[in-house]
């Protein structure tokens, strides 16, 4: 069955991309979406042999594509052109089932493809559990669909007894899935508690989170800014876990950077919810660096998708720095004819529309250094100076001050320590509260 793992097949799929173009979607958007679906498929090792689309006022309720299109596809499948249809939307279990029956091909929808990629790329215990849970939730109704299908076919075939062995097997599987989902939910809850403890320990440090569309270059920037070795790859959803590292060269106080999972158009809903806890870590940042691949023809749409998901997970109000990345790719493609003109023009156009943005290439050291300076400046601008007196019996607070504030001056007298510091107002308020307690 198509919604089962692509990995479980021994032969690579040969797929045709299929899309319904709704009236609200223009040609460029449709093409962009199909290009992206092709990249998603390639990430899974699926060979894409062609694509087809049709304009419709709405999806066919029974089988997503209209009847004529289904007949055309049946002929192409029978001629051996492909064995799988990749649908550029999420379709219901019965739509997928009907489409399979009418065309003779396996049907995989965009959600199944994304879930398969997440499944393959999940490394940590948390990411694995999150992805397994969403996949089971995706699979459960599809198993029900398959079960009722088997049952009907059984009866038509005159099988004795109301319930075929197939169906009770399915029921068993469904119960197992329910149990497993409950087990995973518990596991995730306890991991969440662990994470919260870790988070509380870091909560007093200035933080920047790198967020953005998949493949925008977040991990590349993370590596350059923190000298860490997070995974970078030219594939979609290379990163599934939030990594936290210190900004280098070291600042005073330290600034923490986090690298996060990327977003995509039509991100399955379960995934948004399940990665919320992973993202929460990043979203407690004082600043979100929204990384955008400025060399992608669809970057504006990708930017909107990211902003929408950020609002959905409650990060709409966190201050943003827009970071337009991969600007080097604009001159590279076209060097012979026009030198670096396309880059300069693009930079000007971006800054006209987003005056506070950074336009950079993660591959240029000077650009990365400039980005680092912007982060430092952001925290400096927000910080205030204060004088703090720390009596001898409150020396534990001194350690916290050194961790979370820039200490400009420190002197001792008969009452204890006197510190002149610079820090964010919230940090100062918290420290003063501790000194008064």
Ligand X SMILES: Nc1nc2c(ncn2[C@@H]2O[C@H](COP(=O)(O)OP(=O)(O)OP(=O)(O)O)[C@@H](O)[C@H]2O)c(=O)[nH]1
Tokens of 387: 């004088």
**Per CB under 5 A, does 244 bind Mg ion?**
no
Run of H or E residues at 428: helix 425-436
**Unique residue bearing structure tokens 């827009």:** 322
What minimum distance in Å lies between the beta carbon of 238 and Mg ion?
5
Pairing of strands 416-423, 406-413: antiparallel
Structure tokens at 133: 């849970």
**DSSP string across 401-424:** HHHHSEEEEEEEETTEEEEEEEE-
Supply the minimum distance, in Å, between the C-beta of residue 243 and ligand X: 10
Task: Confirm or reject binding of residue 226 to ligand X (CB under 6 A).
Answer: no
Using alpha carbons only, what angle is made at residue 177 by residues 133 and 62, rounded to the nearest 5 degrees? 85
Q: Is 260 in the site for Mg ion (CB under 5 A)?
A: no
Structure tokens at 125: 């215990």
236 binds ligand X, rule: CB under 6 A = yes
Task: Closer to ligand X by CB, 239 or 242: give it.
Answer: 239
Per CB under 5 A, does 238 bind Mg ion?
yes
Q: To which residue do tokens 């977040």 refer?
A: 218
Q: Is 272 in the site for ligand X (CB under 6 A)?
A: no
Cα–Cα nearest to 238, from 360, 123, 89, 129:
123
336 binds, among Mg ion, ligand X, none (CB under 5 to 8 A by kind): none
Structure tokens at 193: 């508690």
Nearest CA to 114 among 12, 15, 52, 43? 43
Size of site (CB under 6 A) for ligand X? 22
Q: Give the nearest distance from C-beta 262 to Mg ion in angstroms.
A: 6
Cβ 398 to ligand X shortest distance, Å? 39
- The verdict on 119 binding ligand X (CB under 6 A) reads no
Site for ligand X contains 256 (CB under 6 A):
no
User: By CB under 5 A, is residue 43 in contact with Mg ion?
Assistant: no
Instruction: Give how far Cα 168 sits from Cα of 136, 179, 181, Å.
Output: 19, 17, 20
Complex with Mg ion: residue 240 or 419, whichever CB lies closer:
240
The rounded distance, in Å, linking the Cα atoms of 119 and 115 is 6
Gap between the Cα atoms of 284 and 183, Å rounded: 28
Contact (Cβ atoms closer than 8 angstroms) between residue 252 and residue 379: no
> Per the structure block, which two tokens stand in for 294?
């400025």
Q: Work out whether 390 is an interface residue with ligand X (CB under 6 A).
A: no
311-370 residues near ligand X, rule: CB under 6 A: 325-326, 328-329, 361-363
**Which of 40, 1, 34, 2 lies closest to 17 in space, CA to CA?**
34
Q: How far apart are CA 103 and CA 95, in angstroms?
A: 12
* 215 touching ligand X, by CB under 6 A: yes
Residues in 360-379 at the binding interface with ligand X, rule: CB under 6 A = 361-363
Q: Among residue numbers 211 through 230, which ones bind Mg ion (CB under 5 A)?
A: 218-219
CA dist., res. 236 & res. 228, Å (int): 20
Applying CB under 6 A, does 184 fall inside the site for ligand X? no
Q: Which is nearer to ligand X, 239 or 286 (CB)?
A: 239
Cβ closer to Mg ion: 228 or 331? 228
132 vs 259 by CB, closer to Mg ion: 259
Binding of residue 219 to ligand X (CB under 6 A): yes
- Site pattern 275..314 for ligand X (x: CB under 6 A): ----------------------------------------
CB of 269 to ligand X, least distance (A): 19
> How far is it, in rounded angstroms, from Cα 212 to Cα 315?
13
Cα-based torsion angle of the residue sequence 425, 427, 430, 435 in order, rounded to the nearest 10 degrees: -100
Using CB atoms, what's the residue nearest to ligand X?
A: 262
In the list 233, 370, 408, 426, the residue contacting ligand X (rule: CB under 6 A) is: 233
Q: Which residue has the tokens 């173009």?
A: 21
Residue 278 site contact among Mg ion, ligand X, none (CB < 5 to 8 Å, cut-off depends on kind): none
Quick check: 99 binds ligand X (CB under 6 A)? no
Determine if 245 is a binding residue for ligand X (CB under 6 A).
no
Give residues in contact with Mg ion (CB under 5 A).
Answer: 218-219, 238-239
Give residues in contact with ligand X (CB under 6 A).
Answer: 214-220, 232-234, 236-239, 262, 325-326, 328-329, 361-363
């Amino acid at each position: 069955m198509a919604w089962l793992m692509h990995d479980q097949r021994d032969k690579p799929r040969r797929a045709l991309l299929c899309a319904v173009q709704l009236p609200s979607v223009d040609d460029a958007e449709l093409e962009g979406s199909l290009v992206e679906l092709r990249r998603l498929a390639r990430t899974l090792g699926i060979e894409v042999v062609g694509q087809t689309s049709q304009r419709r006022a709405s999806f066919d309720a029974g089988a997503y594509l209209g009847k004529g299109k289904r007949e055309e596809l049946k002929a192409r499948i029978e001629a051996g052109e492909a064995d799988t249809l990749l649908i550029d939307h999420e379709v219901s279990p019965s739509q997928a089932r009907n489409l399979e029956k009418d065309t003779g091909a396996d049907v995989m929808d965009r959600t199944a493809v994304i879930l398969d990629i997440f499944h393959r790329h999940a490394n940590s215990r948390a990411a694995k559990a999150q992805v397994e849970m969403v996949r089971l939730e995706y699979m459960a109704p599809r198993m029900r669909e398959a079960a009722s299908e088997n049952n009907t076919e059984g009866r038509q075939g005159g099988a004795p007894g109301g319930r075929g062995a197939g169906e009770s097997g399915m029921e068993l599987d469904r119960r197992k899935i329910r149990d497993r989902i409950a087990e995973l939910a518990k596991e995730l809850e306890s991991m969440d508690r662990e994470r919260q403890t870790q988070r509380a320990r870091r909560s007093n440090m200035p933080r920047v989170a790198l967020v953005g569309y998949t493949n925008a270059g977040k991990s590349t920037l993370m590596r350059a800014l923190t000298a860490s070795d997070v995974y970078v790859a030219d594939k979609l959803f290379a990163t599934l876990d939030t990594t936290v590292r210190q900004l280098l060269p070291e600042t005073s106080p330290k600034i923490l950077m986090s690298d996060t999972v990327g977003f995509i158009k039509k991100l399955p809903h379960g995934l948004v919810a399940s990665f919320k806890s992973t993202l929460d870590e990043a979203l407690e940042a004082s600043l979100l660096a929204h990384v955008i691949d400025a060399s992608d023809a669809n970057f504006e749409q990708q930017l909107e998708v990211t902003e929408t998901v950020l609002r959905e997970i409650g990060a709409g109000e966190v201050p943003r720095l827009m970071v337009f990345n991969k600007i080097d790719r604009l001159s590279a493609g076209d060097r012979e004819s026009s030198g670096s003109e396309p880059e300069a023009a693009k930079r000007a156009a971006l800054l006209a529309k987003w005056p506070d943005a950074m336009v950079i290439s993660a591959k240029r050291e000077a650009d990365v250094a400039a980005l680092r300076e912007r982060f430092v400046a952001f925290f400096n601008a927000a910080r205030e100076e204060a004088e703090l007196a720390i009596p001898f019996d409150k020396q534990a607070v001194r350690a916290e001050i050194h961790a979370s504030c820039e200490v400009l001056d420190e002197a001792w007298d008969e009452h204890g320590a006197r510190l002149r510091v610079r820090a964010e107002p919230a940090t100062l308020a918290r420290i003063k509260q501790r000194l008064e307690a």
